[in-house]
Amino acid sequence: MPDMDGTEATRILKDDPRTGNIPVVSWSASVMREDQDQIQSLGDGILKKPASKGQMIQELCRFLPHQRLEVDSEERVETTLTDAWSPGSLSPDELARLPELVDLLEGELRTEWEALRATMTINEIEDFANRMQTLGKEYGYPPLASWGESMQTQASMFQLDALPRTMAEYPQLIERIRS
């Protein structure tokens, strides 16, 4: 800011009765503990650069009204796997390609899925979800595409409670394809 720094701006906001109750979350690159203590004492929260999207959402949730939606993972998987699809809808060519799809999902993609479950990197999860949608369409297996769509939606909307449960469904999807 050309005319004042964040500390001064926060003081002005907090001293004004019209804006004093508005939460102020600072985003600081300072590594000095004294600076962080001073920044924290002025506002309502602090994020240290670099902050992930997940950290920002978590901090903002402290101040913004929101609700968490609970999803029954087992029920959602079963619904995803059976909605508007049956094995009889596969052509003989698609049926013959299912072992190839299983090999893809069990190979390098499984290793990638395991890494994503450990890191929960949103952008990489979105990329993985896009690939699952593409593979589901390419191999004529809509439940895989639907699972990818769910995962992509949860990642893009930062549904950090539901996303790990959805990601955990990956082995179940592979077993359903095998069967």
Residue 73: is its pLDDT beyond 60? no
> Domains of the chain by range and CATH?
6-61 (3.40.50.2300), 73-178 (1.20.120.160)
Tens digits of per-residue pLDDT, 2-57? 788 888 888 899 999 999 999 998 887 765 666 667 777 788 888 887 777 777 87
pTM, two decimal places: 0.56
Percent of the chain scoring above 90 in pLDDT: 33
Closest CA to 27 of 17, 16, 15, 35: 35
Specify the pLDDT at position 155.
Answer: 87
Specify the pLDDT at position 35.
Answer: 67
